[in-house]
Copies of this chain bind each other. A is one copy, B any other.
């Protein structure tokens, strides 16, 4: 029996999702045009709040990470007072890249070329042989700062001039995830994926499980593809939850692999057997399982290429327990991620064709359709 038959004969629950009927996929230009890509980088990635990491990566004063946003390299660093700053990774003297590693710890930011030295707050502290340059004032040569704020422990930056404050942007989600302890989680592993597909295909892929029976046989066994219930169906934050079969977990073994993430007392049995999937516009995928949280960062590199960083976060107390087996979850999702990237790459290949035209979304693709609508709002 061919696969398509198998799917068609399963029972199908009508939900609010069906409002997407009539919606079609985006036009070709949004997936292939360098002009559209440049516009996205300008209107979205240079103006919106984008995820660059988690505060757990900057545990102590002087800890830094380097992120790349809209082709800009940024140094994100915790200062001695505990505050996190973001700076362009560019010396004010001759423009030299200051830090070329991905992360580390330092007491000051010193340029490797002529040793100009900046404090962790970005102020220029030392500049050899500049004293005799008439009119030179160190105060004029602080590092260029970038807007930075935290949400549930995640670090967001915004390259815009006067962005909406982050709390205002996240107001629709206020309190929604507070019992997940997101701010104190720690990443056990990061995997980077270099995907030959437009970044929007990954959002559209993440936002439906219509593809799960064919693409993810193992996932589909543990979490029924048609169990999805969406509670955010409009706007920049989209998603909901799916069921996990009783007594099972999204791991290779099918068993829970760590101490639970959430406060136990607050939830019922049913809620424990759920996985929550939310896309946070424009570059975050937040997947919350009972015992771990997976977070994807999406970094468009070109119309046809996207860098994806995927972290697996656990409760800080989970790490030292005997039942801690993070690889069981990491391996499961690494396999599942690669299945997804592969079909995204196949979509990219087909969409470049002269015969491609927007195709009809099914009733199970209401969230991709909602994501497309939201995306188009920013591109106007």
Residues of chain A touching chain B, judged by Cβ–Cβ distance below 8 Å, are 2-5, 7-8, 12, 14, 18, 21-22, 25, 71-73, 88-98, 100, 108, 110, 112-117, 125-130, 132-136, 141, 144, 204, 210-211, 213-215, 343, 346-347, 349-356, 359-364
> B129 contacts A12, CB within 8 Å?
yes
Docked-complex contact A7 and B362, CB < 8 angstroms:
no
Most buried by B among A2, A91, A129: A129
Given A97-B350, A343-B112, the answer on whether A128 and B362 have CB atoms closer than 8 Å is yes
Q: Chain A at the B interface: mostly helix, strand, loop or mixed?
A: loop
Residues in B whose Cβ lies below 8 Å from that of A7 = 115, 128-129
Q: Are B97 and A347 in contact (CB under 8 A)?
A: yes
Instruction: Write out the residue numbers on chain B whose beta carbons fall within 8 Å of the beta carbon of A18.
Output: 132
A214 pairs with B113, CB closer than 8 A? yes
Tell whether, in the assembled complex, residue A133 and residue B21 are in contact, meaning their CB atoms are under 8 Å apart: yes
Contact residue among B22, B211, B360, B364 (Cβ-Cβ distance under 8 Å from A113): B211
Contacts of A134 in B (CB 8 A): 21-22
Distance in Å from the Cβ of A22 to the closest Cβ of chain B?
7
Identical chains in the assembly: 3
In Å, the complex CA distance between A88 and B22 comes to 24
Write the nearest CB–CB distance from A340 to chain B, whole angstroms: 10
Smallest Cβ distance from A94 to chain B, in angstroms? 5
* Docked-complex contact A129 and B362, CB < 8 angstroms: yes
Residues in chain B near residue A356, CB distance under 8 A: 90, 95
Q: In the assembly, what is the distance between CA of A347 and CA of B128, in Å? A: 18
Distance to closest chain B CB from A256 (angstroms): 31
Contact in complex: B129, A215 (CB < 8 Å) = no
Q: How close is A24's CB to chain B, nearest CB, in angstroms?
A: 10
Neighbouring B residues of A3 by C-beta, 8 Å: 110, 115
Instruction: Tell me, in angstroms, the Cα distance from A126 to B349 when the chains sit together.
Output: 22
Could you tell me if A21 and B347 are in contact, using CB atoms closer than 8 angstroms?
A: no
Residues of B within 8 A of A14 (CB): 132
